[in-house]
Amino acid sequence: MSTCNLLKLGVASALLVSISAVFAADEVRAQPYGVVPPVPYFYNWSGLYAGGHIGAGFSDGSSGFLGGGQVGFNYQVNQWVFGVEGDFAGTSIKNSVNATVVGPGAVLTSGANASLDWVSTFAPRVGWASDGWLVYGKVGGAWAHASATANFAMNGFGAGSISVDQTVSGWVLGIGTEYALPYNWTAKVEYNMMDFGSSSPFSTDTFHVIKAGINYRFGGPGWPY
C-alpha cells in the first residue's frame, strides 16, 4: 500500500473516531437527570419559647376579658411533641350585688363587689406535629385570686365595710392548636377549663377560657434550610 493511501486511511480513521466521540458525548448529555425529591415540610418545635395571649373567660353569667403571658419548653420526637407551659393572666371579670332591708324605723342597705383578679396555670403538654401545625392537649394545676368588698349603710349613713381576698387552687384541662410562622414565631388558639371545686370564687366550680396567642421560640430556625 502506498504512503498516500496510508495517509488517507489514517485521516478517515481519525474522522470516524472524532464523530463517534461527538455522538457519544451528545448521548451522555441527552441522558435525563434524576428528579430530586422535595424537602419534607417539617418544623422543629423543640426549644424554649415565650409569648403573650388575650381572650375571654366566663363562669355562670360572670364574664370578661383577660390577657397575659406564657413561657414553656418543647421537645420533639419524630412527630410527637412533649412539653410544659406556665401562664399568667389578669382579668376584668367583676360581679356586684345590692340589697335593701326595711325594718321598724330603719332601712339597711348593702352592696358587694367581687372581682377575679388573675388566673394562672402550669401543665405538661403532649402534641402531634404535621405540616407546620401542632395539635395538643394539656392537664395540670390552676390557681385564681379573687377579692370582694361589702359595704353596709343604715338610714343613709355608712355603717361599715368588709374586704376579703383569697387564692384558690384546682386543675386545668386544655386543648389547642398552634401554627408555625416565619422567623421562629408561632400563633395559637386554646381552650381551657379550670375546676376549683368547693373553693371556687364563682357560684359554680368551673371557669372557662378561650384565648389566642403568639409565641417566639429561641434558638435556631424551626424550618430546615
In a shared domain, residues 74 and 127: yes
Residues 20 and 127 in one domain: no
Q: Are 120 and 170 in contact (CB under 8 A)?
A: no
Does some domain include residue 222?
no
Tell me, yes or no, whether 83 and 190 share the same domain: yes
Same domain, 85 and 27: no
In terms of residue numbers, what domain contains 132?
A: 41-217
Cβ atoms 193, 144 nearer than 8 A: no
DSSP 47-68: EEEEEEEEEEEEETTEEEEEEE
- d(Cα 1, Cα 7) in Å, to the nearest integer? 10
**Do 54 and 160 reside in the same domain of the chain?**
yes
Say how many domains are in the chain.
2
- pLDDT given at position 32: 53
Do residues 3 and 114 share a domain?
no
Measured in whole angstroms, the distance separating CA 220 from the mean position of its chain's CA atoms is: 19
pLDDT at 51: 98
Same domain, 125 and 59: yes
pLDDT digits (tens, 9 = 90+) for 61-94: 788 999 999 999 999 999 999 999 999 999 998 7
Which of helix, strand or coil describes residue 27? Answer: helix
- Identify whether 125 is part of a domain: yes
Residue 201, pLDDT score: 65
What's the one-letter identity of residue 190? E
Nearest to 118 by CA among 93, 86, 152: 93
Domain membership flag for residue 223: no
Could you tell me if 24 and 48 lie in one domain?
no
Q: Which amino acid is at 76?
A: Q
Q: Are residues 24 and 112 in the same domain?
A: no
Which residues of the chain have a pLDDT value below 50?
3-12, 14-17, 19, 21-23, 28, 30-31, 97-103, 106-109, 225
Shared domain check, 5 and 57 = no
Task: Please tell me the predicted confidence (pLDDT) of residue 98.
Answer: 44
All three cell numbers of 58, joined, read: 366566663
Q: In this structure, what CATH number is given to the domain that contains residue 149?
A: 2.40.160.20
Shared-domain flag, residues 8 and 64: no
Query: Cell for 86?
Result: 406556665
Whether residues 105 and 10 fall in one domain: no
